[in-house]
């Protein structure tokens, strides 16, 4: 198989989803770390949204450019002989898709656009110090989302049902960034904590645990497999 | 096959995407029109996001609840023996998924959250008159999106390539709502206009053309197949 290149920004939740899913699929790839807010970011020529992740690969002798997490997750499913990160049961498939949509819209709008904006985008883009009110509102929203995930995991091993799915990759992409910044009080969510510990100990997670954000040390337990 | 029920709000772009795709698939369903902003909306008990569309159906004797457009589109693809609204070519599949993500995130954030908020949500929720500055900003954003779609259609018959895909259903769901409110100057986008005329003349589109928004007449050409 031809070499694949993943263009990603290590603290972009969608880029992390792509790295986790590619790791689960044992797809070998080289990495190009990009800074999507800079004018000469190479992703600008590959993806009209200007955003990572983008995977450049080849199939049947033709080059193939996969833009956005959905295209990468879908391609991994398509190329697999068995169901890959997508349950077989129709109800679990529907639940996987519902949860992926939930993170794409609700979690992004209510948590990332507020909390990650204050803690990550502002220092990167030199937009000044975080605002206390925005931090508070993002943290309140995050609590509601974590409680919702905790409820799901009282009756399920994985987010959408019995087995790992795209929903777990998407959720882990998001939560791992917030965990780096120390935004998750795991003791309040024991079921979610067990789920996250299991995911974190999978080989696909290892590369993420060595990421470092300039000027911000990882939360104390970020790289601990047992926290 | 057991009867299916679609819970939808006629002017929600995602609900329209579901109606168009179900129509294309010739799935028979009864409709329950909902008002998601009201406390007793039945969708609140079916979808944690509280939002339509939701399709209640049955498969192999089990009831199946499909929440969000992604779950409905995915289910239609799963149950079809041949590729349904999803191209066979890997590059076109990736492009379909990229465009669906584009509408879910960019179009929703830059156009709907501004322009549909002013023109649709404000009257429905009695939030006062539209603000001129917001209307202007939403319209500027819409122009950029329409230009992008026009560019794609200079070399393609459908948005993601040669054949109709989920991307066309999603785009038509969004654009048809904006067209009702007279927000699209079709003469400026001849390729997009031809694409929309072709879609509009398909049987799946017919039910949408009879929708009426309280207090706002449809734009003059809204229901014309040749405009």
- Tokens 């645990």 correspond to A209
Q: For the segment A4-56, what is each residue's pLDDT rounded down to a tens digit? A: 999 999 999 999 999 999 999 999 999 999 999 999 999 999 999 999 999 99
User: Considering chain A, what percentage of its residues have pLDDT values greater than 70?
Assistant: 99
Complex ipTM, two decimals?
Answer: 0.96
Q: Say if CB A7 and CB A36 are below 8 A apart.
A: no
Q: Which residues of B touch A (CB under 8 A)?
A: 47-49, 59-60, 62, 64-71, 74-75, 78, 90-91, 93-95, 97-98, 100-102, 104-106, 108, 148
Task: Give the closest residue to A100 by CA, choosing from A86, A117, A116.
Answer: A86
Residues in chain B predicted with pLDDT less than 70, given as ranges, are: 1-2
Q: Which of B149, B147, B117 is nearest to B135 (CA)?
A: B117
In angstroms, the Cα distances linking A216 to A65, A96, A134 are: 33, 33, 19
- Beta-carbon separation of B104 and A106 below 8 A: no
- pLDDT at residue A225 in the model: 87
**According to the model, what pLDDT value does residue B227 have?**
78
Per-residue pLDDT tens over the stretch B107-132: 999 999 999 999 999 999 999 999 99
Q: Which residues pair with A4 in a beta bridge?
A: A29
Chain mean pLDDT for chain A: 96
Nearest CB among A64, A98, A148 relative to B91 is that of: A64
A191 CA to centre of own chain: 19
Question: What tokens were used for B103?
Answer: 């509408």
Judged against a pLDDT cut of 90, whether residue A98 lies above it is answered with yes
Top-level CATH class of B4-79? alpha beta
What top-level class would CATH report for the domain A90-205? mainly alpha
Indicate whether A72 pLDDT > 60: yes
pLDDT of A65 strictly over 90: yes
Rounded-to-integer distance, Cα B111 and Cα B109, Å: 6
B64/A108 CB distance under 8 A: no
Spatial contact of A136 and A115, defined as CB atoms under 8 Å apart:
no
Question: What pLDDT score does B208 carry?
Answer: 98
- Nearest-10 crossing angle of helices B68-79, A90-102: 150
Rounded to 5 degrees, what are φ and ψ at A2?
Answer: -65, 155
For position A181, what pLDDT does the model report? 97
pLDDT of residue A166: 98
Q: What pLDDT does residue A2 have? A: 53
Distance CA A60, CA A81 (A): 16
Are A171 and A102 in contact, with CB atoms under 8 Å apart?
no
The SS3 call for residue A4 is strand
Give the residue extent of every domain in chain B.
Answer: 4-79, 90-205
Angle A99-A6-B101 (CA atoms, 0-180°, nearest 5)?
35
**How many C-beta neighbours within 10 Å does residue A88 have?**
9
Chain B residues whose CB is inside 8 A of the A88 CB are none
On the question of pLDDT at A129 being above 60, the answer is: yes
As beta bridge partners, residue B213 has: B216
Pairing of strands B29-33, B4-8: parallel
Q: Give A108's contacts in chain B (Cβ within 8 Å).
A: 105
What pLDDT does residue A26 have?
A: 96
- DSSP bridge pairs for B66: B55
From the CA of A94, how many Å to the nearest CA of chain B? 5
pLDDT, one tens digit per residue, over A197-224 is 999 999 999 999 999 999 999 999 999 9
Task: Give me the pLDDT at residue B2, please.
Answer: 53
Distance between alpha carbon A163 and the CA centroid of its chain, in Å?
Answer: 18
Closest chain A residue to the Cα of B62, Cα to Cα: A91
- The CA distance from B86 to A226, in Å, is 42
């Amino acid at each position: 198989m031809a070499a694949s290149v993943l263009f990603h920004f290590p603290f972009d939740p969608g880029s992390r989803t792509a790295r986790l899913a590619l790791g689960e699929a044992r797809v070998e790839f080289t990495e190009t770390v990009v800074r999507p807010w800079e004018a000469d970011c190479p992703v600008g020529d590959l993806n009209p949204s200007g955003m990572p992740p983008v995977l450049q690969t080849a199939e049947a002798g033709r080059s193939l450019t996969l833009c956005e997490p959905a295209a990468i997750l879908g391609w991994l499913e398509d190329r697999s002989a068995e169901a890959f990160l997508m349950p077989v049961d129709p109800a679990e498939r529907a639940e996987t898709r519902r949860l992926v949509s939930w993170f794409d819209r609700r979690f992004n709008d209510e948590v990332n656009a507020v909390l990650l904006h204050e803690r990550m985008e502002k220092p990167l883009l030199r937009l000044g110090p975080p605002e206390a009110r925005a931090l508070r509102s993002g943290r309140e929203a995050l609590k509601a989302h974590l409680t919702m995930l905790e409820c799901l995991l009282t009756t399920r091993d994985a987010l959408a049902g019995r087995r790992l799915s795209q929903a777990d990759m998407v959720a882990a992409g998001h939560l791992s960034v917030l965990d780096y910044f120390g935004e998750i009080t795991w003791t309040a969510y024991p079921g979610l904590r067990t789920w996250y510990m299991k995911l974190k100990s999978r080989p696909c997670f290892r590369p993420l645990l060595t990421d470092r954000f300039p000027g911000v040390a990882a939360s104390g337990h970020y790289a601990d497999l047992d926290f």
